[in-house]
Every structure is written in C-alpha cells, then in structure tokens.
Amino acid sequence: MTDIVSQTVDVLDCYEGRDAAITFTLYLCCLISGFYSRKTKLHKSLQRIFHRLEDCRVVLRLYDDLTILRDLFSYELRPGERNWIVRFLKFAHYIAWLGYYPSEHIAWLGEMKMIDIDHKLWEFYTNFFWSTALITCALWNAYVVLQYMVQQSYSIQRQEEEKKSFIPWTAARNAMLATVRDGTEFMVAVNYLPRGYLWASTLTYIQVGVLGTCSAFLRLYGLFNFGHGH
C-alpha cells in the first residue's frame, strides 16, 4: 500500500502526471454528464467542472513553448534518423506543436478580452494543430510497431546484420501504447473542429468522455508502469 501511495505521489509530482490526472478527471466528468439530461442540475455542474478543468490545463500549458522548441532542436541535432518516414512524421509532429501553443495562447488571450481578435478563428487553428500533432505521433508509432512485427520474421543472420537498427520489445510496447493513446485523443481533437471536417461536432458527451478517459488512462498507465519518459 505504501508503494502504491509513493508511486502515485511521484506521478502526480511531475508535470506530465499531473496533466494526465487532470485530463482523466475532466473527461470522466464529461462521460458521466452524458448519462443525464442537459436540463438537469448534475449535467450542468459536471459540464462546468469539465470546462473549468480544461481552462486549468490551458493555464498549465502557458510556458510549454520553450519545452517543445527544445525538443525540436534536440531531435534535429541528434544523429540522423535512418528511416525517412519516421523522421518526416516526427518533424511534422514538432512543427504542429510549435503552431499549437502560440495559437492556444492567442485564443486564450482573446477569450479573456485581453486582445481584439477573432477568437473562433484562433480556436480553429489551435484544434487543427492539436489534431495534426496527435495524428503524426500516432502514425509514427504505428510505423514503429509495424517495423517491429516485420523484424520478428527476420532470420538470425539478418537480425545480426540489422542489429544497430533493431527495435527492442520495450520500444515497440511504448509505441503500441502511444498509437492507441494518441489515436483516441485525435478522435476527440477532430470533434472540436468546425462541422464538415471528418466527424467534427458529431460526437456525444459519452463518446467524447470514453475516448478522452481512455487516452488519459493510457498516459497514466504508462507513467505508473514505465516511468516519466515518453
């Protein structure tokens, strides 16, 4: 019991763990609210909690720009990625996050009436970049899983030849987790886009809640079982 409490404190003590916990809570509220009529007091209260926790996450992300910029440059300065597909998807992923954070900040300032902008337009940019970042991450991780599956059919001789680029089980496991995690969150992100983009604005509270809680749960599961790394 002490180990579980200690591990929980460690996860909640890190930025990613705290964000995942808040995300799980807000989508759980959205999920539960979907089982009640929109006119009921409980539905309205749960939706208010949902939106307030969303605002909380926005504030927590106010200074994430430098972090993603550091990640981009640290990735670009490393020895070249051998696989051009993965390299392209990772680069697109970082560029999408670079567009996401400033857009979200501007949209937030517009919502607070701090600057005179078209709030809805900047909200669209934010959700577009969010969707792009998630789908590129899901695709590159799915490709890693596919590569791992292909490598399992290699002969022993070829495994030795490809030893430097061979994908270990731990990397494939993390990639599988990330594919499902970001894939489910991508479905939520698309729903926030204006109607006409794929399934935008068509998901119910229950559907958004199920997808969001699944994604957040997988983030927490990864942190509890495999540490704080991505």
For residues 159 and 87, give the distance between their C-alpha atoms in angstroms, rounded to a whole number: 23
For residues 20 and 111, give the distance between their C-alpha atoms in angstroms, rounded to a whole number: 24
What are the tokens at 79? 């020895």
Q: 144-164 in b/e burial notation, b at 16+ Cβ within 10 A?
A: bbebbeebeeeeeeeeeeeee
Q: Would you state the pLDDT for residue 71? A: 80
> What confidence tens digit (pLDDT) does each residue in 14-59 have?
989 999 999 999 999 999 999 999 999 999 999 999 999 999 999 9
Q: Which of 105, 138, 123, 102 is nearest to 193 (CA)?
A: 123
Rounded to two decimals, the pTM is: 0.89
> What confidence tens digit (pLDDT) does each residue in 192-224 have?
999 999 999 999 999 999 999 999 999 999 998
> What confidence tens digit (pLDDT) does each residue in 106-118 have?
999 998 889 999 9
| Residues ≥6 apart with Cβ < 8 Å to 114 | none
Q: Which of 125, 64, 135 is nearest to 93 (CA)?
A: 135
